[in-house]
Amino acid sequence: PWLSYRTGPFSPSGIPAGDGFHDYFSLLNERDGGIGGVPINVIDCETAYNTQKGVECYESTKGQGSLLYQPLSTGITYQLIPKGTAEGIPIFSMGYGRTAAADGRYFPWVFNFPAHYWDGASIAIKHILDLNGGDIAGKKITLVHLNAAYGREPIPTLQALAEVHGFEVDFVPIDFASSQEQKSQWLDIRRKKPDYILMWGWGIMNAVAIQEAANIRYPMENFIGIWWSGSENDVLPAGERAHGYKALALHRPGKGAPIFDDLQEYVFDKGLAAGTGEHAGTVLYNRGAYGAMLTAEAIKTAQEIHGVAEITPAMMRDGLENLVMTEEKMAANGFPNFGPSFAVSCENHGGGGEAWIQQWDAHATEWKLITDLIQSDKELINRLVREDAEKYAAENNIEPRDC
């Protein structure tokens, strides 16, 4: 199932992502008759980004032969981690959810590849390092974040990195309920003049933050958002003034990939589009489609491993755990060079931890990749992940499995 949110405060993000996910599977079903001959039934369940509804969705759909859950919300992911683990249904929280879940020894049923939040923090810092010739000692970096579990995720990583690289970091939390009015935070930022700003925002907070940054004439190219703060929704309200804003990219933006031709032919033209179809090529649409592609690949892997077409959730897990994404596979699927290559393993559920940096071009109204794939500081990140996973395991009496 795909737990979507086409309504409520986050619908602007939920709609395109949901469209992308659905459309890709519609394409597979239309063009290839499913995967390995088995059509895929994507169960859509509306959560409105609400934890309780998420649980209700999980309970009501798990009996329908669900292979895998994409909760699409960090809060719901947290709910489903123990449930999925207990009941043997894999959870795929692509680029969100609980970072520690990257440690497959403690979280056998949870996956968050190709990169997670801590990778993101590290990649952003790497990018800044690159811009400064590798020395950012004494620089001031501010994290503007949603005052919620999601927003606080990168804090430990940034603190650890600050020690390593000797930069100063401070944190500006913004409550969701007041994310429409961030004046005081931005006045403070204006005064402190940090060299770089990172943002872990979501929903309306992103758009307002970018507007306010433009208002104080903060140089946009020094303002970097996580991949959830880098969609068209976030920059469009600010218009021209958002030009130059950067964000991490898990995958390519835009409609360049051949897959879009197929989507047009098999899905949109046949009137099978989940939404209006007009979101195709936007960042979040592509994220949905990319996630669908990864899922489909994992299904294929599972079918190969077990030699059957109709797989079970347990097989699905094996498929995810043995997924190897290569450039060839992506190209074959119509996603050439669309995301990083990586391999999932029993121990590593978090993928390779690579991402691009994309930048907003307000004149062309499109995102452009401006770097090569950047690899996060895996040594440090893995250590942090292990520590957190162990702490979680200790609290919940979980024994690690052998990998």
Partner 1 sequence: MLYREAGEFRTSYPDDSQTFPIAFDKFRYYAILAVLFVGVPFIVNDYWANAVLVPVLVWSIAALGLNILTGYCGQISLGTGGFMAVGAYSCYKLMTAFPDLNVVFCIFLSGFVTALVGIVFGVPSLRIKGFYLAVATLAAQFFLVWLFNGVPWFYNYSASGQITVPERTVFGIAVTGPYTEPWAKYLICMFFVFVLAWLARNLTRSSVGRSWMAIRDMDIAAEIIGVNPLKAKLQAFAVSSFFVGISGALFFSVYLGAVEASEAFGINQSFLVLFMVIIGGLGSIFGSFAGAAFIVLLPVLLKNLLVGRLSWPTDIATNSEFIIVGALIIFFLIVEPHGLAHLARLFKEKLRLWPFPH
Partner 2 sequence: MVEQLLYAIEVSLNGLMTGILYSLVALGFVLIFKASGVFNYAQGIMVLFAALTLVGLQAGQVPFAHLINAVFGTRIYSFGWNLPAIAAIALSAMVMVVLAMAVEKFILKFLVHQEPVILFMATIGLAYFLEGFGELMWGGEIKPLDLPLPVGISDTIESATFERFGYGFFIDKLDIAAACVAAVLVLSLVLFFQYSKIGRALRAVADDHQAALSVGISLRYIWVVIWSIAGIVGLAAGIMWGAKSGVQFSLSLIALKALPVLMLGGFTSIPGAILGGIIIGVGEKLFDFFMNPIIGGATENWFAYMLALIFLVFRPQGLFGERIIERV
Interacting residue ranges for partner 2, rule: CB under 8 A: 6-12, 14-15, 147, 171-175, 177-181, 183-185, 187-188, 190-191, 203-204, 207-208, 211, 214-217, 233, 236-237, 239, 241, 271, 276, 278
In sequence order, the 6+-apart residues with CB closer than 8 A to the CB of 338 are 251, 252, 257, 286, 290, 293, 330
Whether omega for the bond prior to residue 219 falls within 30 degrees of 0, making it cis, is: no
Please state the closest distance from residue 358 (CB atom) to partner 1, in A. Answer: 26
* Main-chain phi, psi angles of 113, to 5 degrees: -70, 165
Please state the closest distance from residue 221 (CB atom) to partner 2, in A. Answer: 18
> Judged by CB, which is closer to partner 2: 179, or 229?
179
- Listed residue (101, 93, 69, 68) closest to 349, CA to CA: 101
Please state the closest distance from residue 233 (CB atom) to partner 2, in A. Answer: 5
What would you measure as the largest C-alpha separation in the chain, in angstroms? Answer: 62
Using CB under 8 A, count the residues that bind partner 1.
47
> Judged by CB, which is closer to partner 2: 14, or 90?
14
Of residues 88-117, which lie at the interface with partner 1 (CB under 8 A)? 98-100
Position among 138, 396, 401, 403 found at the interface with partner 1 (CB under 8 A)? 396
Please state the closest distance from residue 104 (CB atom) to partner 1, in A. Answer: 18
> Judged by CB, which is closer to partner 2: 5, or 167?
5
> Judged by CB, which is closer to partner 2: 56, or 59?
56
Position among 175, 265, 278, 304 found at the interface with partner 1 (CB under 8 A)? 175
> Judged by CB, which is closer to partner 1: 148, or 236?
148
Q: Hey, what amino acid is at 42?
A: V
Please state the closest distance from residue 255 (CB atom) to partner 2, in A. Answer: 18
Antiparallel, parallel or unpaired: β 168-174 and 196-200: unpaired
CA distances from 182 to 12, 219, 220, 231 (A): 20, 18, 17, 20
User: Which option in partner 2, partner 1, none does residue 237 bind, with CB closer than 5 to 8 A by kind?
Assistant: partner 2
Does 233 participate in binding partner 1 (rule CB under 8 A)?
Answer: no
Please state the closest distance from residue 320 (CB atom) to partner 1, in A. Answer: 20
Alpha carbons 12 and 206: distance in angstroms, whole number: 12
x/- mask, partner 1, residues 266-295, rule CB under 8 A, reads --------x---------------------
Helix axes 51-62, 74-87, angle to 10 degrees: 30
* Main-chain phi, psi angles of 368, to 5 degrees: -130, 135
Per the CB < 8 A criterion, the answer to whether 355 and 115 are in contact is yes
Alpha carbons 316 and 328: distance in angstroms, whole number: 22
Of residues 31-60, which lie at the interface with partner 1 (CB under 8 A)? 44-46, 48, 50-53, 55-56, 59-60
Of residues 65-84, which lie at the interface with partner 1 (CB under 8 A)? 75, 78-79, 81-83
Of residues 116-145, which lie at the interface with partner 1 (CB under 8 A)? none
DSSP string, 325-374: E-HHHHHHTT-TT-S--EE--SSB-S---EEEEEEEETTTTEEEE-S--E
Please state the closest distance from residue 30 (CB atom) to partner 2, in A. Answer: 17
> Judged by CB, which is closer to partner 1: 55, or 362?
55
Alpha carbons 192 and 399: distance in angstroms, whole number: 46
Alpha carbons 262 and 265: distance in angstroms, whole number: 5
Alpha carbons 81 and 309: distance in angstroms, whole number: 27
Antiparallel, parallel or unpaired: β 354-361 and 246-249: antiparallel
Residues that bind partner 1 (CB under 8 A): 4, 6-7, 11, 15, 44-46, 48, 50-53, 55-56, 59-60, 62-63, 75, 78-79, 81-83, 85-86, 98-100, 147-149, 152-153, 156, 173, 175-177, 274, 388, 391-392, 395-397
